[in-house]
Structure 1
Amino acid sequence: MALLLRLGVRHQRTDEIARTSSDKETRSLAPIFDEERGVARKQVSSIHDHPDITLETLQSLMLANDVTQLLVKELAPNDNSKNQPYVSKGNLDALNILPAGEFETDSKHNTLKAALDFRWLQSNGSISLAPQAKLIFYPQYPEVRLSGFLKGAKNAPNYLMNTRAEGRLLFLGVTTDRRIIGWAAGPDSSLAHAYVSLKTPEKLGVFTLVPLVGGRVGLSTRSLLIQELRRIHLLDWIDSKALARDGSVVSCVSAHCVGYTLEAELGVARNGISEPDFKGWEVKATTVKKLDGKPSAKPVTLMTPEPTGGLYRTLGVADFVRRFGYPDKKGRPDRKNFGGNFFAGIRHTNTKLTLALNGYDADKREIIDTSGSLALLTDNDDVAAEWSFASLMSLWNRKHAQAVYVPAEMRKAPSLQYRYGGAVRIAEGTDFVRLLQAISARTVYYDPGIKLENESTKSARTKRRSQFRIRSRELASLYSKVEQITLLGF
Structure 2
Amino acid sequence: MGIVENMNDTHVNDDERWFDRADIQQVHDLLTNAGAESIWVKRLVPNNNSKQQIFLGSDPSDLAFLPLGTPQYKAPKSQKKKAGPLLIRIPVPWRWVTPNGEFNAPNANMCFYPQYPEVRFSGFLQGCKEGPSELMGESKRGHELNRCMFFGTVKDSDGENDHVVALVVGASSPAAQYVLDMDTFEKGHICPVFYESKKKVGEFSILEEALVKIMGKKIVPWRRLNSGEQIKPYIAPNAPGLTLEAELGVGENAIPGPDFDVWELKAISQKSLERRNNHRVTLFTPQPDLGWITNHTQAEFVLKYGHVSGVDENGKPNEYYFTSGDINRFDESKEGAKLNLRLVGFTDSKNYDPNGMIALYDKETGELAAGWSYLKLLEHWQRKHNRAAYVPYIKQGSGGSTTVEFGPLITLGLSTSFGLFLQAFQDCKAIYDPGDKITLKNGSWTPHPRSQFRININDINAIYQRICEIDLRTPETMQEKES
> What CA deviation, in whole Å up to 9, does each residue of 1:11-64 have, x standing for no partner?
xxxxxxxxxxxxxxxxxxxxxxxxxxxx9x999366982433212332354445
SS at match of 1:372: strand
Cα distance change, pair 482–67 in 1 and its aligned pair in 2 (3 A): farther
Cα distance change, pair 460–277 in 1 and its aligned pair in 2 (3 A): closer
RMSD: 3.2
Tell me the CA shift for residue 396 of structure 1.
0.7
Corresponding letter in the other structure for 1:101: G
Distance 1:47 1:279 in 2: 40
Tell me the CA shift for residue 160 of structure 1.
1.0
Question: Does 2:79 align with 1:103?
Answer: no
Residue 144 of structure 2, aligned match among 166, 170, 179? 166
Tell me the CA shift for residue 155 of structure 1.
2.8
Asked if the contact 1:258–1:418 (Cα under 8 Å) also holds between the matched residues in 2, the reply is yes
Question: Does 2:259 align with 1:283?
Answer: no
Distance 2:200 2:16 in 1: 31
Tell me the CA shift for residue 69 of structure 1.
5.1
Distance 2:226 2:24 in 1: 30
Asked if the contact 1:338–1:351 (Cα under 8 Å) also holds between the matched residues in 2, the reply is no
Distance 1:370 1:387 in 2: 12
Question: Does 2:124 align with 1:149?
Answer: yes
Distance 1:258 1:347 in 2: 35
Map 1:152-231; keep pairs closer than 5 Å. 152-162=127-137, 163=140, 164-167=142-145, 168-175=147-154, 177-178=160-161, 179-199=163-183, 201-202=185-186, 206-214=188-196, 222-231=204-213
Asked if the contact 1:95–1:397 (Cα under 8 Å) also holds between the matched residues in 2, the reply is yes
Distance 2:402 2:258 in 1: 21
Corresponding letter in the other structure for 2:281: V
Q: What is the match of residue 279 of structure 2?
A: 298
SS at match of 2:431: strand
Question: Does 2:243 align with 1:264?
Answer: no
Tell me the CA shift for residue 383 of structure 1.
1.2
Gaps of 5+ in 1: 1-38
Q: What is the match of residue 135 of structure 1?
A: 110
Distance 1:198 1:391 in 2: 38
Q: What is the match of residue 456 of structure 2?
A: 471
Cα distance change, pair 68–429 in 1 and its aligned pair in 2 (3 A): farther
Map 1:24-43; keep pairs closer than 5 Å. none
> What CA deviation, in whole Å up to 9, does each residue of 1:166-189 have, x standing for no partner?
212222324563332212111211
Tell me the CA shift for residue 373 of structure 1.
0.9
Q: What is the match of residue 77 of structure 1?
A: 46
Distance 1:48 1:187 in 2: 16
Tell me the CA shift for residue 361 of structure 1.
0.6
Corresponding letter in the other structure for 1:70: I
Tell me the CA shift for residue 268 of structure 1.
0.9
Distance 1:256 1:275 in 2: 20
Asked if the contact 2:38–2:152 (Cα under 8 Å) also holds between the matched residues in 1, the reply is yes
Distance 1:258 1:217 in 2: 27
Residue 446 of structure 2, aligned match among 454, 461, 485? 461
Distance 1:93 1:269 in 2: 20
Distance 2:241 2:10 in 1: 55
Fraction of identical pairs, as percent = 29
Distance 1:463 1:277 in 2: 27
Q: What is the match of residue 33 of structure 1?
A: none
SS at match of 2:354: coil
Gaps of 5+ in 2: 1-6, 78-85, 476-483
Q: What is the match of residue 113 of structure 1?
A: 89
Distance 1:249 1:60 in 2: 32
Q: What is the match of residue 412 of structure 1?
A: 397
Distance 1:191 1:211 in 2: 11
Q: What is the match of residue 233 of structure 1?
A: 215
Q: What is the match of residue 346 of structure 1?
A: 331
Asked if the contact 1:359–1:373 (Cα under 8 Å) also holds between the matched residues in 2, the reply is yes
> What CA deviation, in whole Å up to 9, does each residue of 1:314-340 have, x standing for no partner?
343333233322332789732432212
Q: What is the match of residue 24 of structure 2?
A: 55
Q: What is the match of residue 481 of structure 2?
A: none
SS at match of 1:399: coil
Q: TM-score, normalised by structure 2?
A: 0.81
Q: TM-score, normalised by structure 1?
A: 0.80
Q: What is the match of residue 478 of structure 2?
A: none
Corresponding letter in the other structure for 1:195: V
Alignment size in residue pairs: 439
Asked if the contact 1:312–1:384 (Cα under 8 Å) also holds between the matched residues in 2, the reply is yes
Map 1:84-99; keep pairs closer than 5 Å. 84-88=53-57, 94-96=62-64, 98-99=66-67
Distance 2:212 2:11 in 1: 55
SS at match of 1:368: strand
Question: Does 2:482 align with 1:482?
Answer: no
Distance 1:66 1:212 in 2: 17
Corresponding letter in the other structure for 1:396: W
